Amino acid sequence: MTVTIYDVAREAGVSMATVSRVVNNNPNVKPQTRKKVYEAIERLGYRPNAVARGLASKKTTTVGVVIPDISNSNFAEVARGIEDIANMYHYNIILCNADKRKDKEIRVINTLLEKQVDGLLFMGGAVTEEHVQAFKTANVPVVLCATTDEENKIPSVDINHEEAAYDAVNVLLSQGHKDIAMISGTLQDPSNGYARYYGFKRAMEEAGIPEREEFVRVGNYRYESGVEAMNYFLDQDKHPTAVFAATDEMAIGAIHAIQDKGLRVPEDISVISVDNSRMASMVRPQLSAVAQPMYDIGAVSMRLLTKLMKKEQVEEIKVILPHEVVKRQSVGTIQG
C-alpha cells in the first residue's frame, strides 16, 4: 500500500541508507546514484514519512505555537511573522488555538509537547505558575511572544505595554485634555490589561490630574464593550473630553457610541488607543493609535527560538520592541 524507503531502495538497486542520504541531501552520494534514486522516488511516488523520521532522528523540524484567539487579528499578524521566519529556517509550524482559556492553553501545550515539537512559542495571554510548570517539563526551548512572565525568567519578545499606554495618554495630555477616561482591558491580564492601565495612571499622575473612578471602565477588548463603556461615560453629568482605549476595537466602539449620541470625534471628544490594527484606518474618523509591531514580535520571537533550538549563544533573553504613535484624525486639541 504505502511505499517506504525500502521499496525505493530496491527499485533503485541501492540500500535504504543511500536513499535516506539522498532524501536528506547528504553530499556523500555519487551524482549518478543520486539520480537513480530520484528516479525511483518519482516512479514510485514515494513520500517520506515524517513520523518515522521524527522517531528515528528525535527531531520533528516543527515548532508549536499556541495562539490565544485565532479570530484576533493582532495575533494573526504575529502568526504571520512567526511563519515567515519559520519557513526561512525550514521549520513547519503547527498552530493551536486556545480560545483564550487557560485550561485549554495548558492542554494544548502538553499536546504539542507530546507531538515532540522542537520548540514552543506561546503567544499572548497571562503566564501563570501553571504555565511555567508546563514549560519546565518541556525539554525543548520555549519563547513567549507578545507577553512576558512575571518572574522574567522565560525568553520573550514583547513591547513595553505600560510605556505604550503612557505615550498614548500623553498625546491626549499634550493637546490640552484633562478630563481623560480610560477603557481598560481586564486587570488580570498583565500586558494588555494591567500594564496599560498602569501607564494611563502614571501619565495622569505625572500631569497632576487626580484619579476619577467614574472615568475608568474595564471592557473585554471587544467592540461592544467599547460602546458600553463609552455610553457609561456619556451618561455622566460631565463627560470626558478624551478617551484612551486599551485596544482599537474598543476605541472604535467608543467612537460610534459618541457619534450615535450626536457628538463628534474629535471635535467634541478625542479618542486614542493602542494596537494600530488594520481596522484603525477602517473607521471615520480614522483612529490615532500607538502601533504595536505585531509582525515583528512574531518574527523576532521565532528567530530567537531558532537560536535556542540550535543551542546558539543568545545575548538577550528578553527583548522589548519599540512602539510608535500613529497620528490620524481621532485626536483634537481641546478648546478653552
Partner DNA sequence: CTGTTAGCGCTTTCAT
Partner DNA sequence: ATGAAAGCGCTAACAG
Q: Taking CB within 5 to 8 Å according to partner kind, which of DNA, a copy of itself, none is near residue 328?
A: none
CA angle 116-98-103, nearest 5°?
A: 90
Q: Considering beta carbons, is residue 13 or 322 the nearer one to DNA?
A: 13
Q: Considering beta carbons, is residue 51 or 317 the nearer one to a copy of itself?
A: 51
CA–CA separation, 301 vs 304, rounded Å?
5
> For the chain, what is the radius of gyration of the CA atoms?
26
Q: Considering beta carbons, is residue 76 or 321 the nearer one to a copy of itself?
A: 76
Asked if 160 is part of the footprint of DNA (rule: CB under 7 A), the reply reads no
Q: Considering beta carbons, is residue 95 or 138 the nearer one to DNA?
A: 138
Task: Identify the three-state secondary structure at position 152.
Answer: coil
Residue 320 near residue 158, CB atoms below 8 Å:
yes
Shortest spacing between CB 322 and a copy of itself, in angstroms: 23
Interaction residues for DNA, span 37-96 (CB under 7 A): 46, 48-49, 52-53, 55-59
Q: Taking CB within 5 to 8 Å according to partner kind, which of DNA, a copy of itself, none is near residue 15?
A: DNA
Q: Hunting for cell 535556542 — which residue is that?
A: 308
Asked if 6 is part of the footprint of DNA (rule: CB under 7 A), the reply reads yes
Number of residues that bind DNA (CB under 7 A): 31
CA–CA separation, 217 vs 181, rounded Å?
8
CA–CA separation, 88 vs 66, rounded Å?
20
Q: Considering beta carbons, is residue 45 or 210 the nearer one to DNA?
A: 45
Which of residues 21, 100, 196, 303 is near DNA by CB under 7 A?
21
CA–CA separation, 138 vs 112, rounded Å?
10
Of 188, 156, 184, 177, the closest CA to residue 308 belongs to: 156
Shortest spacing between CB 305 and a copy of itself, in angstroms: 17
Residues that bind a copy of itself (CB under 8 A): 1-2, 45, 47-52, 54-55, 60, 62, 70-71, 73, 76-77, 79-80, 83, 92-97, 99, 110-111, 113-116, 137, 139, 223, 249, 252-253, 256, 259-260, 278-279, 281-284
Residue 132 near residue 105, CB atoms below 8 Å:
no
Shortest spacing between CB 38 and DNA, in angstroms: 12
Q: Hunting for cell 484619579 — which residue is that?
A: 211
Interaction residues for DNA, span 209-248 (CB under 7 A): none
Shortest spacing between CB 118 and DNA, in angstroms: 13
Of 191, 183, 166, the closest CA to residue 217 belongs to: 183
328: phi then psi, degrees, rounded to nearest 5? -125, -125
CA–CA separation, 252 vs 258, rounded Å?
10
Q: Considering beta carbons, is residue 209 or 326 the nearer one to a copy of itself?
A: 326
Q: Hunting for cell 474595564 — which residue is that?
A: 218
Contacts with DNA, residue ranges (CB under 7 A): 2, 4-6, 13-18, 20-21, 23-24, 27-30, 32-34, 46, 48-49, 52-53, 55-59
